[in-house]
Each structure stands twice: as C-alpha cells, then as structure tokens.
Structure 1
Amino acid sequence: MEIEIKIRLASEEHTATLEKALGGVSFSTEDQDNVFFDGVHKELIKNQLVFRIRLIEKSGKEPVAIVALKGNAVLVDGIAHVEEEEEAIDIELARRIIENPDLIPEAAKSHLLLKKIVDRVPCSEGYTHMGRFKNVRHKYRWQEYVVEIDRTLYPQGTAYEVEIESTDPEKAKARLTALLQEHNIPFGNSQRNKFENMLLGTLL
C-alpha cells in the first residue's frame, strides 16, 4: 500500500517559491511520459484498476521504462492510499507496446507483472490506449522526507503538485503545510489523482 500526501499549488510562481524554500537544487529530475491502457471494453477500470507504462529520462542516464498496476485508489483530504505494483520492462519493448497495445498478451509471456495484469482481468477483445500525459518531477531532500514536485502537462493545462510518501501522512502533511504557510504559498488538497485529471480534463 502506497500512502502519499498530495498538495496542489496554483502556479509556476508558487512552485518556484517552494523549490527555493527547499534549497533550490533538486537531487533528481525526471522527465516522465505516462501512457495508460485498458481493454477495449474498459475491463480494468471497471475493476478499479489502472495499468500504466512510464518512460523515464534522467540527465546523464539511459532512459528506463516501468510497468505499474494500481488499484482501489482513495484520495481524501490530500492523503492518497493506493495499492501499487511496479516492475521494470525493456524500454524498446515498452515503446513497441505504446505503439501497438495488441502486443500486450505476447509480451506478458515473459514479463511477470504484465502476465498478472492479463490473467487478473482478461480482455478477450484486445487492449487500447486510455490516455497519455507528460510530467516533470523534481525531487528534494527536506527533513526526513523526499519531496517530489510535479509539473504535469495535460492538453487542458499544467497542474502543479507536491507529493510526499510517508507512513505517517498526517505528520508529514502538517509539516509541509506549515512550510507553505511560512513562505506565504497558497495551496489546497489535491482532489483528483493524475489519471482522473487526464480522463476528466480537469486540473483538480
């Protein structure tokens, strides 16, 4: 179970102010290309499951690809709980699947998480794209946390979000919101996760 604080910021200006408060220099920057899949009859989403392939580029490193299966996501008062499994996948295979989702059943024969996805919810008439968005993630070390600042680019605009993964989310949220208040940065609880914003055309 992944537990994260998700706080929404209003603008690039407010996001830059927070980054300065965190020290100004991130220890990691990721350019993420997020592609979502489902059966042609939306079999996965009907079972509260989200299937994603993420392509990640980091400065000075070879690009990588990650398959993720998420389930039973709940987001209340800026705290998200979600069941999540991830597994690396050969990036060229990932790119071929993105170009042609019908390759998923064949690829599943040699990839454990893809096999689990295919077996868990059969999609007998094949797979299709659910949507796609890009995200730029900067990571900062602050107190005992890793703070992730996301600039997510949708067709409907850019969303600015701060995330902290923690086993004590109330404590982490209280510390983060105190920092935001100290630097006069307006904020609010994220109301939808990135997948929902993609599907619904929102920035909430």
Structure 2
Amino acid sequence: MEIEIKIRLPTEEDTVKLERSLGTPLVASEDQDNVFFDGAHRELIKEQLVFRIRVIEKSGKDPVAIVALKGNAVLVNGIAHVEEEEEAIDIDIARRIIEDPSLIPDAAENHRLLKKIVERVPCKDGYTHMGRFRNVRHKYQWQEYLVEVDRTKYPHGTAYEIEIESTDPEQAKERLTSLLEEHGIRYGNSERNKFENMLHVTVQQ
C-alpha cells in the first residue's frame, strides 16, 4: 500500500516559490511520459485497476521504462492510499507496446507483472490506449522527506502538484502546509489523482 500526500498549487509562480522555500538543492529531475492501457471493453477500469507504462528520461542517463498496476485508489483530504506494484521493462519493448498495444499479450510471456495483468483480468478482444500525459518531476530532500514537485502537461494546460510518500501522512502534511503558509504560497488538497485528471480532461473535450 502506497500512502502519499498530494497538494495542488495553482500556478508556476507558486511552484517556483515552493521550490525556493525548500532551501535544499535539486536531487533529481525526470521527464516522464505516462501511457495508460485497458482492454477494448474497459475491463481493467471496471475492476478499479489502472495499467500504466512510464518512460523516464534523466539528463545524462539512458531512459528507463516502468510497468505499474494500481488498484483501489482513495484520495481524501490530500492523502492518497493506493495498492501499487511496479516492475522495470526493457525500454525498446515498452516503446513498441506504446506504439502498438496489441503486443501486450506476447510481451507478457517474458515479463512477470505484464503476465499478472493479462491473467488477472482477461481482455479477450485485446488492448487499447486509455490516455497519455507528460510530467516533469523535480525531487528534493527536505527534512526526512523526499518531496516531488510535478508539472503535469495535459491538453488543456499544466497542473502543479506536490507529492510526499510517508508512513505518517498526517504529520508530513502538517509540516508541508506549515511551510507553504509560512512563505505565503497558495495551495489546496488535490481532489483527483493524475489518471483521474486525464480522464476528466478527456471527457470534457
């Protein structure tokens, strides 16, 4: 079970102000391409499951790809609980799947998590794209927390969010919001996760 604090920021200005207020150097920067898949009849989403492949690019390093399966996501008062399993996948295979989701069953023969996804919820008529977005993630070590500052690019514009994974989410949230208030940074609780935001944008178009 993954537990995260999710706090939204309204603008780039507030996001930059937050990064400066952390008072710590940037640990890492990632450019993430997030691609979501489901069966032709939305078999996975009907079971409250989300299947994603993320391609991550870091400056000076070879890109990597990660398969993720998430389930039973709950987001209340800026604290998210979700069951999540992740596993690396060969970058070339990942890119071929992104180009052609019909390759998923064949790729699953040699990948544990893909095989689990295919077997857990059979999709007899194959797979299709659910949606896609890019995210630029800046990571900072602040106090005992790894703070992830996200700029997520949807078709309608950019959303800004802070994420902190913690086993004591209430305390982590209190410390973070105290920092935001101390520096006059506007914020609010995230009401939807990024996948839900992507679907919401798709529906609105």
> What TM-score comes out, normalization by structure 1 length?
0.98
Secondary structure of the residue aligned to 2:159 is strand
Runs of 4+ displaced beyond 3 Å: none
**Amino acid of the residue matched to residue 94 of structure 2?**
A
Q: Does 1:153 align with 2:153?
A: yes
What does 1:1-204 correspond to in 2, within 5 Å?
1-23=1-23, 25-201=25-201
Find the aligned partners of 2:140 and 2:95 in 1 and give their Cα distance. 29
**Amino acid of the residue matched to residue 6 of structure 2?**
K
**Amino acid of the residue matched to residue 23 of structure 2?**
G
The alpha-carbon deviation at position 22 of structure 1 amounts to 1.1
Find the aligned partners of 1:16 and 1:23 in 2 and give their Cα distance. 12
Gaps of 5+ in 1: none
Q: Deviations over 1:77-111 (max 9, x none)?
A: 00000000000000000000000000000000000
| Structure 2 contact 24–141 (Cα < 8 Å) conserved | no
Find the aligned partners of 2:178 and 2:25 in 1 and give their Cα distance. 21
Gaps of 5+ in 2: none
**Amino acid of the residue matched to residue 93 of structure 1?**
I
Q: Deviations over 1:104-136 (max 9, x none)?
A: 000000000000000000000000000000000
Secondary structure of the residue aligned to 1:186 is coil
RMSD value over aligned CA atoms? 0.8
The alpha-carbon deviation at position 25 of structure 1 amounts to 2.9
Find the aligned partners of 2:90 and 2:162 in 1 and give their Cα distance. 29
**Amino acid of the residue matched to residue 151 of structure 2?**
R
**Amino acid of the residue matched to residue 160 of structure 1?**
Y
**Amino acid of the residue matched to residue 163 of structure 2?**
E
Taking only the aligned residue pairs, the percentage that are identical comes to: 77
Q: How many residues align?
A: 202
| Structure 2 contact 74–80 (Cα < 8 Å) conserved | yes
The alpha-carbon deviation at position 24 of structure 1 amounts to 5.8
> What TM-score comes out, normalization by structure 2 length?
0.97
Secondary structure of the residue aligned to 2:8 is strand
Find the aligned partners of 1:195 and 1:28 in 2 and give their Cα distance. 23
